[in-house]
Structure 1
Amino acid sequence: MYGDLMTETTGEGPAAGGARLTTREAARRLGVKPETVYAYVSRGQLTSRRDPAGRGSTFDPREVDALVRRGRREPSADQDASLRVSTGITLIEADHYWYRGVDAVELARRHPYEEVAEWLWTGTLRAGLRLPAPAGPLAAARRAVGALPPYSASTDRLRVAAVAAAAADPLRFDLSREAVLGTARSLIPTLVDALPLAAGTGGAEDGPLAARLWSRLTPRPPNTPALRALDTALTLLIDHDLAASTLAVRVAASARAHPYAVVSAGLGAMDGPLHGAASGPVHRMLTEVLDRGGAAAVVADHLRAGRGVPGLGHRLYPRQDPRATALFEALAAVPEAAPAVAAAREVAAVAARQDPSGANVDLALGALTVAAGMAPEAGETVFAVARTAGWIAHALEEYGEPPLRMRPSGHYTGPRPPRPLP
């Protein structure tokens, strides 16, 4: 779709050779409505100029095409080729995304997390796949997690569990494909089962992964639609091209770090506020909306404080985040989620004038964690567990590339030598 738009000419005016685009032409190239073009202007993503004849705004075609490339994650012509990474795992394009060429949303609707993870690793779907945790690494991970302070976050526990499980696996340095696949199938359940159970719950260690994770995130008993919604969230979040944590994973795999260390690199990149933790502020915002009985005052408070409204918009999806659409669809089947979903939709509606780009997956994930009685950080845990499968898929791919290729050149900006000793 975008490829056609980038070479398109119309009867509405010239769009090449330096000629500026009309609003309708810019909207057509971007694949959005004209009002969304003005939203990009208000957010500083595009620059407009009044037409000399006074007929409306005009736009630089190079700037519009650069925004299209950012939406598709295409490098610009002058970008360093060493930053390009060929991958056959996830394609994001035109408000959709695909796992190995298959619609990721349809996979999430039809198959549980374990089966989709296997698809990402091998290109094969194995019906009824279960992922048990091996006894030795699980015992080591639980001991290490149990030694942490009680106030430790779930993501702290996941990082410690990964390190402890690695230390208990003497075969971790075997980077053959089958060995890495074996580690992948055992590491994810080890991370989940090493987390402490919520108070008053029991947890099986051989059932679906979503059920095992549920019992570690909330004391509420699950029902089938709620577990289905959690499983959908896990599957939707498995991979998202070269996000920050995935790039860290590929760098580690390029240096031939073993899979446990690769996952640790991904978890480390997640330990900041800008990647993976966005559902926490959404959880708190939706809780406040429910407490105060409406979204208007809560949205106003966020804007007044200069924080922006969390859970809205995504630069890779100009019109809608398909992950949010699919997760809200799954939550519609969970009766107890109705208040949280209504609060989320009210937030999006109130904020639409300021940000018309709509809900992103963090808004839907926040609605899930609120509806399930989970802690605000639970969404980050769901994200980390889900993305572990994607990280290992990228590691498998990177192990097949020449080692140490992820080595961009630095652009030195310090003083020119020689200089005297200080």
Structure 2
Amino acid sequence: MTDQADAAGLPQPSARRLTTRETAERLGVKPETVYAYVSRGQLSSNRAAGGRGSTFDAAEVDALARRTGRRESTAPAGALSFPTGITLIGGDRYFFRGVDATELARRHAYEEVAEWLWTGELRPGIRFTAPADALAAARRAVGALPSHCGSTDRLRVAVVAAAAADPLRFDLSREAVLGGARSLIPTLVAALPAVTEGGGATPPGLARQLWPKLTGHPADEASLAVLNTALGLLIDHDLAASTLAARVAASARAHPYAVVSAGLGVLEGPLHGAASGLAHRMLSEVLERGGAAPVVADHLRGGRRVPGLGHRLYTGEDPRARVLFELLAEVPRAAPALAAARDVAATAARHTPLHANVDLALAVLSVSSGMAAEAGETLFAISRTAGWIAHALEEYEERPLRMRPSGQYTGPQPPQPLPTAGTAAVPQ
């Protein structure tokens, strides 16, 4: 019988039979669609034992999934845990597509790390360029903002302006999304105003282009190496809050610019991208007061956590902080801020066993380079844009709107009378 099936080119029977529900989940469709496949001859079924329901051959289902572009889902609909081939975190290390992320960021330019994350291919020497129309629109929009606006405000506006300048933004094909990403990131950097006015052509490489947007200090090679590595290290960190928001937007088939906007909206929170600003202010105060002890004591006395310490995904030192501290040790002007950061970690360790995280390392860079407190957030936002795009590319290949959790209603039990002026809902 097996030989006859082979000769006829038919799928081999498998010992593994799937229920209708399992088949629907593997195909990423509703159970009704499974039976539609059967009626069209795309899938065969057998009556289940006892005559209740149908079963399906797993190999045949997988073959159909490959033809239709569906992929097996290992998590139920609405779950916040789902497959990703981008970043793995474990054992106080993290990896981009299986490669040690810290080594990748140390050895390659930001654009090369982004390409690896997007495509799984290393493209040495690749550089991103901003299209003239998008850049002009972004600069006009950013220039119209009030002077008190911060960099994240400017980036959000720049994304919207760049989207408006791209009439093909709704094309969600892989190549279109990649082309848009390669132009959006340099557009965001170029749309930011420089800290000090300067002439000359913009040098190649995103780190060199970003440096004058963050500080008026001259860019030495050691400092640029820190900035470039920081950009590479921060590209992705699994399903952080902003990345989850980006994936939800992509699940609704929002275009890539809207996906980035969703990520930026979450990033601004003080517990996410803005956390490095808190560490910057604390480190500045440590330098002013000549030691970490009084500053750490003030935080503890006020019931506040000490910024720049601890990460729920790492039991030891954040590997991103470790790499940046090693590179900052090669920057002479960073020595005082680096010593202050070590002092903070050592002082706080007497109270709680927390290690330095990447926010503290970014604070050392920003404080020692004469950057504003928000510089770390800006760096974070620019870098993570590539990660949001990577997750969008993955999500576009999944069935749409799969992340649909159900609310647990805790309001007044119906039926309630229609409200009238001056009445309030029943308190719970």
Correspondence for 1:342: 339
Correspondence for 2:198: 201
> Residue 205 of structure 1: CA displacement?
3.9
1:377 equivalent in alignment to 2:374: yes
Task: Give the counterpart letter for 1:181 in structure 2.
Answer: L
Correspondence for 1:286: 283
> Residue 303 of structure 1: CA displacement?
1.4
Task: Give the counterpart letter for 1:268 in structure 2.
Answer: G
> Residue 94 of structure 1: CA displacement?
1.1
Contact 2:96 2:117 in 1 (8 A): yes
1:329 equivalent in alignment to 2:326: yes
Task: Give the counterpart letter for 2:109 in structure 1.
Answer: P
Correspondence for 2:129: 132
Alpha-carbon spacing, 1:241–1:415, altered in 2? closer, same or farther (3 Å): same
1:414 equivalent in alignment to 2:411: yes
Q: Structure 2 CA distance, aligned partners of 1:415 and 1:343?
A: 53
TM-score (norm 2): 0.78
TM-score (norm 1): 0.80
Task: Give the counterpart letter for 1:228 in structure 2.
Answer: A
> Residue 98 of structure 1: CA displacement?
0.4
Could you tell me which runs of 5 or more consecutive residues in structure 1 were left unpaired when the two chains were aligned: 1-77
Contact 1:119 1:125 in 2 (8 A): yes
Q: Structure 2 CA distance, aligned partners of 1:117 and 1:283?
A: 27
Contact 1:324 1:360 in 2 (8 A): yes
Q: Structure 2 CA distance, aligned partners of 1:387 and 1:349?
A: 30
Task: Give the counterpart letter for 1:241 in structure 2.
Answer: D
Contact 1:250 1:398 in 2 (8 A): yes
Alpha-carbon spacing, 1:204–1:316, altered in 2? closer, same or farther (3 Å): farther
> Residue 164 of structure 1: CA displacement?
0.3
Pairing 1:55-94 to 2, within 5 Å after superposition:
82-94=79-91
Q: Structure 1 CA distance, aligned partners of 2:372 and 2:200?
A: 18
Alpha-carbon spacing, 1:202–1:378, altered in 2? closer, same or farther (3 Å): farther
SS of the equivalent of 2:226 reads helix
Contact 2:92 2:318 in 1 (8 A): yes
> Residue 410 of structure 1: CA displacement?
1.4
Pairing 1:237-386 to 2, within 5 Å after superposition:
237-386=234-383
SS of the equivalent of 1:82 reads coil
SS of the equivalent of 2:236 reads coil
Q: Structure 2 CA distance, aligned partners of 1:147 and 1:203?
A: 25
Could you tell me which runs of 5 or more consecutive residues in structure 2 were left unpaired when the two chains were aligned: 1-74, 420-428
Q: Structure 1 CA distance, aligned partners of 2:77 and 2:255?
A: 28
1:234 equivalent in alignment to 2:231: yes
Contact 2:78 2:405 in 1 (8 A): no
Contact 1:299 1:351 in 2 (8 A): yes
> Residue 217 of structure 1: CA displacement?
0.6
Task: Give the counterpart letter for 1:146 in structure 2.
Answer: G
Task: Give the counterpart letter for 2:369 in structure 1.
Answer: A
CA RMSD of aligned residues (A): 1.5
- The count of residues paired between Structure 1 and Structure 2 equals 345
Structure with higher Rg: it is 2
Contact 1:130 1:206 in 2 (8 A): no
1:180 equivalent in alignment to 2:177: yes
Match of 1:190 among 182, 187, 195: 187
Alpha-carbon spacing, 1:365–1:79, altered in 2? closer, same or farther (3 Å): farther
> Residue 204 of structure 1: CA displacement?
4.1
> Residue 417 of structure 1: CA displacement?
2.5
Q: Structure 1 CA distance, aligned partners of 2:100 and 2:163?
A: 34
